[in-house]
A = this chain, B = another copy of it.
Amino acid sequence: MNMNTEKKPIYPIQVWDITEKEFKRENNYRNETTFALSNGYIGTRGTFEEAYPFDIDTGLEGNFVNGFYESEQIRYGEANFGSPLLSQSLLNLPNLKEIRVILDGEMFSMEEGVVEQYARILHMKEGFLERKLVWTSPAGHKTKIRISRLVSFARKNIMVIHYQVTPVNYSGKIQFVSKLEADVENHTRKTNPIVDYGPFGRRLFETNIKAEKDLIYYEGTTKGSHLTMACGSVHEIYREIGKVCEKELWKKKQGELSASLFAELEAQQGETVTLDKFICYTTKLDMPKEQLENFVTQELSAARQEGYDSLKKQQKAYMESFWKIADVKIKGNEALQQGIHFNLFHIIQSAGRDGRTGMGAKGLSGEGYEGHYFWDTEMYVLPVLVYTEPETAKHLLDYRYGTLEQARKRARILGHEKGALYPWRTINGEEASTYYPLGTAQYHINADIAYALSLYLQVTGDTEYLKEKGAEILIETARVWADVGSFAECKGGKYCICDVTGPDEYNVLVDNNFYTNLMARENLKDAAEAVDYLEKNAPEYLKKLEEKLDFSTDETELWREIVEKMYFPYDEKRKIYPMDDGFMMRKPWDETKIPPEKRAWLYENYHPLFIMRHRMSKQADAILGMYLHSNLFTEEEIRRNYDFYQEVTLHHSSLSTCIFGIVACDIGYLDTGYEYFSQSARMDLDDYHNNFYAGIHAANMAGTWQAIVNGFAGVRCQNSQLRFKPAIPKEWEEYAFRLRFRGALLEIDISKQEAKFTKLEGNSISFRIGTKEITLNGEGDCYVEKI
């Protein structure tokens, strides 16, 4: 174990807010991520309206649209057959947040004059970002400035900036300069030095840029992916007494890569002048290119009509309904409570909601990992959404369904005559991993997607989804598992899967990775069951699939045989499941030989061969499998394995500690579970990994929720049965959360003495605690279990 819970809080402990109390250049890069806003479609980093010219180590202006990527030829020292030839990178788009304010001739800048009463607050409960301060200019003019910003959940293409200026000790001219800056480029290489692929330089061409009246519009097409995006803004300026400023107020300045609007008005001492800047982004992925401009102007016009106050109200309503279900309430530790809120807030911000987009490992908060979607979505985020926002979970599954065709093609490239192999990392559905031992070899992505889908189906009971899309995903993923391995005589005729990489990226291209074999088996089982279900309940859907996929139900015989005969490496002496066939044979790891400053992501300082020949693990691997399918193992078994793996796991991935925490709870190691959980809960908020600047760690953020719900409360849904195993850390007085399950909303409130289960709304609900089966029917019905 390699804990790091001693780090001091960076921000004041406030359960619903994150507050920056002083602007410091050296914190800027990190805080841009902390204060990033998103609605799953638009993402914008927490940069300032003043658009300070920070260098590459101090800041990164970032504006993204989910799914909008640029491609460039990937270069290899030596390419393999099937190496992706085109990169995919979430493209950093033109910035529209820039607003300069000139106060009686002096331009506002926090780096000049005196800043007082400064606060930047992320209002997580309401879903907006606020900055307030009093600025005394070099000439002595004092001005109150208050800026709010939100990315609307109600209107996916809209963000708005509400900029208020109040002269305190003078009356004078106030000038606003609102800008669109299109001279932008990705900085990826800085954040991940081992990646040497594009996009390099500015990538939007064939541009259409204009400023007209109070409108700025920009359209551009990427050089490599040939995708067009459009964005724009409209503006309102008003005094306290109401709107005063006509569109004619604006003067324009237009260049090739930027456009600005200037407005000027006289303000009285004490009078507040407000600029609302409504911003819109959209892309050709949502509509034909010709419609983009029309769409942007109409959306902007509608947003202006709606007005800032109304957008803010909608935002609050959205957040309320989110928190109502997703919030986890903890009595007894405000720091953790804050961490949980922060994590959930970023999760809900990051998830694609249009069925066409997924969720990046870093959400839309930065350029890290090129904005790619990984298994993080399915194994870490989806389980949270399945229980709290199942519609959003479904949209994320839709993204995978929508990219099945690419996955089928990829399977052929990998030599599978049937089935689909999902890409390890992607945006457009095609494989984007350039180093297959840590990329494509992670076949478990297939089973991970199948797992999340299966969990969704079990928790929601959405049989329509199974029929329409789910069964196809299950069948196509299963087919690859049925082809990749073989029944090996030397392993007693068991089914062996060779040359895959499990979640543990320090042990690559191994044989019989325990996690992979386990998850593959469940994938095959779920697929066979899905086929059974269709056969009995929806034969017309089965027929459609048989035709579409050239599928025969005979295939399920092999699947069942594999399920029966799946091989798992086993150490007779220790009675544990080694992570893979060769794990126990590797060189013992001696951490003392590793200088402390190199005890993080080993690939940065060590050759892959050095890493893989040692017996240690980067992150939860076998243990993750045992968490997800705990019903297949005895507690004693899990404990033995846990004891073994916690010794050899370095937790060099942000995806590790939350899982160890859950399993620790499962086997009664509550204190250890709590330690792991704490590590996970404030990991990003306190920047344990010192790389928050590059973007959030979405998986761990979601893992925090799991650590409480699946960990302390022991929630599992296996074989469509919901179970609890409630416990409470000794540090807490009480905690509570809610779950949606098959149309019911259940509240779980756990104190030191008891666990109280209340059905709040919806269908009746059944669940188990230990061997007890409990059913709650009426609204408000509850059951209490003593602890």
Q: Contact residues of A with B, CB < 8 Å?
A: 74-84, 87, 194-197, 413-415, 434-438, 440-441, 484-486, 488-491, 496, 498-500, 508-509, 511-512, 571, 573, 581-582, 584-588, 603-610, 612-613
Contact = CB atoms under 8 A, between A and B. Distances in A.
A606 B499 CA distance: 15
A605 B415 CA distance: 10
B582 A498 contact: yes
A80 B196 contact: no
Most buried by B among A197, A485, A509, A581: A509
Given A415-B606, A609-B441, A485 B587 contact: yes
A606 to B, nearest CB: 6
Given A77-B196, A415-B607, A484-B613, 10 more contacts: A75-B77, A78-B195, A78-B196, A78-B197, A79-B194, A415-B610, A486-B588, A499-B612, A500-B609, A512-B585
A80 B194 contact: yes
Contact of A79 (B196, B585, B587, B606): B196
8 contacts: A77-B434, A80-B603, A81-B194, A486-B585, A490-B571, A498-B582, A499-B609, A509-B509
A491 B578 CA distance: 14
A698 to B, nearest CB: 21
Contacts of A438: 78
Contacts of A607: 80-82, 413-415, 436, 440
B437 A603 contact: no
A88 to B, nearest CB: 12
Nearest to A608: B80
Most buried by B among A78, A498, A512, A587: A78
A69 to B, nearest CB: 16
Contacts of A488: 584-586
A553 B435 CA distance: 42
A585 to B, nearest CB: 4
A571 B488 CA distance: 13
A784 to B, nearest CB: 49
A486 B571 CA distance: 18
A492 to B, nearest CB: 11
Nearest to A443: B609
A613 B78 contact: no
A588 B197 CA distance: 37
A195 B609 CA distance: 22
Contact of A584 (B490, B585, B608): B490
A350 B150 CA distance: 71
Nearest to A194: B79
A435 B78 contact: yes
Contacts of A512: 585
A489 B413 contact: no
B78 A587 contact: no
A125 to B, nearest CB: 41
Contact of A435 (B74, B77, B194, B582): B77
Contacts of A83: 77
B79 A76 contact: no
A72 B368 CA distance: 28
Task: List the 4 shortest-distance A-B pairs measured between CB atoms, nearest first.
Answer: A77-B434, A415-B610, A75-B75, A82-B607
Contacts of A78: 194-197, 434-435, 438
B436 A585 contact: no
Contacts of A74: 77
Contacts of A499: 609, 612-613
Contacts of A194: 76, 78-81
A498 B77 contact: no
A508 to B, nearest CB: 7
Contact of A196 (B75, B81, B608): B75
A108 to B, nearest CB: 43
A533 B629 CA distance: 60
Contacts of A604: 81
Contact of A486 (B82, B197, B490, B586): B586
Most buried by B among A197, A440, A582: A582
Most buried by B among A196, A413, A441, A581: A196
Contact of A585 (B484, B490, B603): B490
B486 A587 contact: yes
Contacts of A496: 585
B196 A76 contact: yes
Nearest to A441: B609
Nearest to A74: B77
A414 B81 contact: no
B609 A440 contact: yes
Contact of A489 (B84, B486, B584, B606): B584
A193 to B, nearest CB: 8
Contacts of A77: 74-76, 83-84, 87, 195-197, 434-435
Contacts of A582: 498, 511, 581-582
Most buried by B among A82, A490, A508: A490
A298 B84 CA distance: 54
Nearest to A82: B607
Most buried by B among A74, A77, A491, A582: A77
Contacts of A508: 509
A511 B441 contact: no
Nearest to A496: B585
A335 to B, nearest CB: 36
A702 to B, nearest CB: 26
A77 to B, nearest CB: 3
Contact of A603 (B81, B491, B573, B586): B81
A438 B436 CA distance: 13
A426 to B, nearest CB: 14
A436 to B, nearest CB: 7
Nearest to A80: B608
Given A78-B196, A80-B607, A612 B436 contact: no
Contacts of A573: 489-490
A490 B584 CA distance: 6
A757 to B, nearest CB: 46
Given A76-B196, A485-B587, A509-B508, A81 B606 contact: yes
Nearest to A437: B437
A491 B79 CA distance: 36
A587 B436 CA distance: 20
Contacts of A511: 581-582, 585
Nearest to A507: B499
B76 A509 contact: no
A584 B498 CA distance: 11
Contacts of A82: 607-608
